[in-house]
Structure 1
Amino acid sequence: MRIMVRPHQFPARLAAGAFILNAGLTMASAGAENAAGIHGMAAKAYPFLKDLDSEDFARWLARAQIAVGASLLIPVVPSLLAGAALTALAGGLVGLYLRTPGMRREGSLRPTQEGLSLAKDVWLLGIGTGLVLEEISCSCSRS
């Protein structure tokens, strides 16, 4: 079995992977009321989600988080793949932060107290983007 992670990538992959895996496992065991709240917030930011059943949405989101978290934690998953998955997930979360009223201070990107829980997802976007850019730049320099 070949390890596809450079040693310096382990800390970021471990931190992000454990965080996201925990979020997915927690969401997977959440009840209908929690699912409705998550779906409602997501549907306000992304209107195309409004027609989905809230429990189905929460189930699929939980599965996606579990898959992304596991891909970051399993060293044989290439960093380009794990980083791209993390970037996609985190991009959606940062979009949720940017699109949801009351998450940011008026005329600013700075979070309100309510927005802190979503604003912190920017570090996930940074880790994912960093993994992707490193893998792209390394593969280009080998060519």
Structure 2
Amino acid sequence: MKILARPHQLPPRLAAAAIILNSGLSKSGAGEDTAASLHGMASGTYPFLRKTSPATFTRLLSKTEITLGVALLAPLVPSLLAGAALTGFAAGLLGLYLKTPGLRQEGSLRPSQQGIAIAKDVWLLGIGLGLVAEELCDRRC
């Protein structure tokens, strides 16, 4: 059985997986208030989500986070695939940060006190892009 993730890729994959998997598992039993809050924030930034009920959105978000977390944990999942999935997920989170009022200081990219938790997700984007760039470079360089 060939392991597709290289040893030096495992620490960032494990770090990202731990956070994302925990987040997904925490949302799996979310109540109505939590679901409404998550859905309200997401649908404010991404209006197409308004067509989905808060419960359905939260259930799908939970499953997505769990699946992504497991993919990052599994060394058999190619780093290009895991990195691309992580990059897409992190880009969505950073979209929330950039488009949600009150998360940034006025006229700046710097986070407000309320935005720090989401702004920190930039490291997920960095890990994802790093995995993708390394795999693409190895194929072309």
Moved over 3 A (4+): none
Instruction: Give the TM-score of the pair, scaled to structure 2.
Output: 0.98
Structure 2 unpaired stretches of 5+: none
RMSD (Å) for aligned C-alpha atoms: 0.7
2:45 maps to which residue? 45
Partners in 2 of 1:119 and 1:11 — Cα distance? 21
Distance 2:101 2:43 in 1: 13
> What does residue 103 of structure 2 align with?
103
Q: CA deviation at 1:2?
A: 1.1
* Deviation readout 1:23-48 (Å, 9 max, x if unpaired): 00001111111001000000111111
Who is 1:119 aligned against?
119
Cα distance in 2 between the residues matched to 1:4 and 1:17: 16
Mapped pair 1:78 → 2:78? yes
TM-score norm. by structure 1 comes to 0.97
1:93-138 per-position Cα deviation (integer Å, ceiling 9, x unaligned): 0000000000000111000000011101110011001100110000
The letter of the residue matching 2:56 is D
Indicate the SS of the match to 2:113: coil
Q: For residues 64-113 of structure 1, what are the alpha-carbon distances to aligned partners after superposition, in whole Å with 9 as ceiling and x for unaligned?
A: 11111110000000000000110011000000000000000011100000
Number of residue pairs the alignment of both structures matches: 141
Describe the SS at the equivalent of 1:114.
helix
